[in-house]
Structure formats: structure tokens, C-alpha cells
Amino acid sequence: MRAAALALFARHGFAAVSMRQIAAEVGVQAGALYNYTPDKQSLLFDLMRSHMEELLEALPSNSAAPVTEQLEEFVRFHIAFHDERPDLVFIAYMELRSLEPDNFAVIEQLRGRYETVLESILQIGAGEGAFSVGDTKVTTLAIIAMLTGVTTWFRPEGRLSLRAVQDQYWNMVHRMVTVAPERTV
Amino acid sequence: MRAAALALFARHGFAAVSMRQIAAEVGVQAGALYNYTPDKQSLLFDLMRSHMEELLEALPSNSAAPVTEQLEEFVRFHIAFHDERPDLVFIAYMELRSLEPDNFAVIEQLRGRYETVLESILQIGAGEGAFSVGDTKVTTLAIIAMLTGVTTWFRPEGRLSLRAVQDQYWNMVHRMVTVAPERTV
DNA sequence: CGTGGTTTTGAACGCTTGTTCAGTTAAACG
DNA sequence: CGTTTAACTGAACAAGCGTTCAAAACCACG
């Protein structure tokens, strides 16, 4: 049921999908769904919360490694993890406004934790002189927006392999946080 | 009416907003709206299409200038333009799936035109040796995703001025497309 | 086969949806 | 002021919504 709901939410949006559609996808009547979820809102919330928790749990935090390697690991992890769950990523970013206030607060907090991990790496790197960033918060959001955008177009069977995409994004992020060469073009 | 619909669509999503809510916001009965739009779908489509057309029309294309300046102009333009119309940008990216297939195709094509402008700048710059990019398509999408993400957090009365945000994003984009210095950190 | 416990059905509830339209109200013009 | 034109109302329509629940179907175990 969660899989069916996820696919439908991702394709049509939470508000546009009815319990009857989900039930039909599962091959069951609408009433039967209520043995597995108290209501429609909880269905969305559970999907989002478990996704964010898995994301945080899977996130590598090798704080012993050099910051540049930590950053590279973060970039590659983000792309790879999100590639495995495109629908979940999609609704986690798109359906925030469909959450009731209490549920929204929970998800927002989990998201904040994730962003903080990246921001910490940038701050430490900036302190060590390894990175040159302006505002770390802005850089954090810029990187995450850029990485998350991958899910909107990346398809495993497409022109570029996952590895190639990771390489290119790491290249771009690496340049972004490193001082540019002094030269006139 | 368009303004009311826009605000509500942006806040709650197209599917979650009813014609009666829009009418109430305008201070009118639901039936009166049908003097101005044939149906709800057209309301969304018209908002999105006029937005994309204004975007393309406002886009500066100073092809005589050096590519680096063209790129800078694009970055600053994108941020400034989107800052003036946060709701429109939001729905133009979020409500694509609420469009019927024919309408979707139209908007998608307009979006493609916009992306092509940026990609052309990158390609020319790469050809001239001014830029060092891997895959231009990937770089294009990465930059646009990064820039568009600004609207999710930027508030004019916030900590950073529009100008400061533009400066920082231009800095990041500039580094992204320029060869990094050869040095060990 | 019979019995106990889950699951699922299918109908129903009250409510909202997008849209239509005859009838009322308001505005514009001579 | 009278008339024409435009705008809006308010009720109605069929359809769909999330959710509930008694009754039926299913399943495992003795």
C-alpha cells in the first residue's frame, strides 16, 4: 500500500490522489486501507518521516577524514541515495505543504538536521582554509538545491551513468568551494 | 482573480484549492469566476504560460558581450526576476504535474527555450576556452536548479540583500565553470 | 470439519468538488 | 429617466471525496 501511495503521490500529488485510487492500485476496496493507516494524512507523513530518517541514518559521517573528502563523500552519497528513491525524494520536497502543521514541523526539523551536516563540513573547511566560501548557509542551500535537482532528470538508463553524474557534480561542488585562479580570461 | 488564485495555488497547491476558495478571496461567488476563465485548469495554465513568456521576454541576450559577462548577467537576472515573482516561480516548478498533457507540453517547451539560452552561453564559453565545463547539459541543469532554489528561502527583508545574494551566487557559478587552481590543500 | 480471529467487502454517511444557468443586480449610455 | 449590456448571485447538478461499519469472506489451527 505504501508503495502504491508513493507512486501515485509522486505522479499526481497528494491532494489529487484519492484513497479509492490507491486502493484500486493495490487491488482492494478503499475501506481495507484503513486497516493499515488511520487516515490519508498519516500515510503521507509516515512515508516522509521514514524517508528522512533513513536518509539521516545512511548519511556517512567520517569526521576523521579531511574535510575535502568529507564533502566529496556527502556529494556522492546525496546523489546515489536520492537516485535509489526518486519518488520519495520528490514527495519529500514537493508535499511539505500538504502536511498538517505538527507533521510539517517534524519533517522540517529532520531536514534541518541534514542541512546542518553539510553546513558543518563547510564551516570546518572554511576554518581550516581548505574551502573558500562566502556565507556558509547560502552555500549549503545552493549545493543541496543543485544536488537535489539531479532527480528531476536523471535516469539510470540514460546517457550518463550514475558514476559520471557523481563525478561531474563533485567537480562542480569542489570548484564552488575552492578559490578561483587569479587570471584574466 | 488571477492574483488570488496564484497566492492560493502557491500556498496550498493547485489540487487542494477549490474555486469557492478563490472566489471567497476575491469576494465573490464561485459562479462569477467563470466570466473570466473557462475552467480551473485554464486558470493555472494561463498563469504559467504568461509567466514563462514574460521570463523569456525579459531575459537579456547581449550576445556581443564576453561570455563571462553574459553568464554573470544571466545569473543576476534569474535571481532578480524570480525574486519579484516568488509565487509564480513556485507554481511554475511545482504544478507541472497538475497540467493536462497538452498544456504541459507547451510549458515544457517554453522552459526548454530558457534552458537553451544558458546552455548556449556555456557552450560558446567552453569553445572559446573561457569556461571549463564537463557536460554542458548537466552544468546547465545544475546551475538552474541552484539558482531556482533561492526562491525557497530568500526574503527581501532577511539577513542578506538581493545584491549580496546575487554576488554570492555569481561567485559560485563563476568558480563552477572555471578551472580550479592546481594546488594541494 | 469446525471454530476463532483477521481481512475485506460494499454500502452508506455527510460533505465538497467543478461547473451551469435562470434570475437578480449593477453600471453605462443616450 | 429608460434602456441596454455586463456582472453577479444562489441554487442546483452529478460526481467524487475521506471515512465508518455491519456483514461476508478468508485463513490457520485443532
- What's the mean per-residue pLDDT of chain A? 94
pLDDT at B62: 85
Q: Where are the domain boundaries for CATH 1.10.10 in chain B?
A: 1-37
- The amino acid sitting at B110 is L
Grid cell listed for A77 = 552519497
C-alpha distances (whole Å) from B120 to each of A121, A146, A171, B61 are 34, 20, 21, 11
Nearest CA-CA distance, residue B176 and chain A, Å: 5
Fold of the domain spanning B1-37: Arc Repressor Mutant, subunit A (1.10.10)
Chain A contact for B142 (CB, 8 A cutoff): yes
- For testing contact with chain A, the best of B90, B162, B176 (most A CBs within 10 A): B176
CB of A17 lies under 7 Å from some atom of strand D: yes
pLDDT-derived band of residue A62, with 50, 70 and 90 as boundaries?
confident
Tens-level pLDDT at each residue, chain B (185 residues): 999 999 999 999 999 999 999 999 999 999 999 999 999 999 999 999 999 999 999 998 888 999 999 999 999 999 999 999 999 999 998 999 999 999 999 999 999 999 999 999 999 999 999 999 999 999 999 999 999 999 999 999 999 999 999 999 999 999 999 975 554 44
B122 burial level (CB within 10 Å; 0-12, 13-18, 19+):
buried
**pTM higher than 0.85, yes or no?**
yes
Q: How many CB atoms lie under 10 A from the CB of residue A109?
A: 10
- In chain A, residues under CATH classification 1.10.357.10 are 47-178
How many Cβ atoms from other residues are within 10 Å of residue A3's Cβ? 11
pLDDT score of B180: 56
Give SS3 for A144. helix
Residue A63 has pLDDT above 90, yes or no: no
Verify if strand D has an atom below 7 Å from the CB of A18.
yes
Please give, rounded to a whole number of angstroms, the shortest distance from the CA of B10 to a CA of chain A.
9
Using the Cβ of B139 and the Cβ atoms of chain A, whether some distance falls under 8 Å is answered with yes
Dump pLDDT digits (tens) for A98-137: 999 999 999 999 999 999 999 999 999 999 999 999 999 9
CATH of A47-178, one of 3.40.50.150, 3.30.360.10, 1.10.357.10, 3.20.20.140: 1.10.357.10
Q: In angstroms, how far is CA B167 from the centroid of its own chain? A: 18
Decide if pLDDT at A67 tops 90: yes
> Could you say which nucleotides of strand D lie within 7 A of any protein CB atom?
7-12, 16-22
Instruction: Convert the pLDDT of each residue in A21-40 to its tens digit.
Output: 999 999 999 999 999 999 99
Do B146 and B169 contact (CB within 8 A), yes or no?
yes
pLDDT at A185: 39
Quick one: cell of A27? Answer: 487491488
Task: Compute the Cα dihedral for B47, B53, B55, B58 and give only its sign.
Answer: negative
pLDDT at site A4: 96
pLDDT bin (cut points 50, 70, 90) of residue A180 is: low
Determine whether the distance from the CB of B24 to the nearest atom of strand C is below 7 Å: no
Secondary structure (3-state) at B99? coil
Instruction: Tell me which residues from 25 to 84 on chain A have a beta carbon below 7 angstroms from nucleic acid strand C.
Output: 27-32, 35
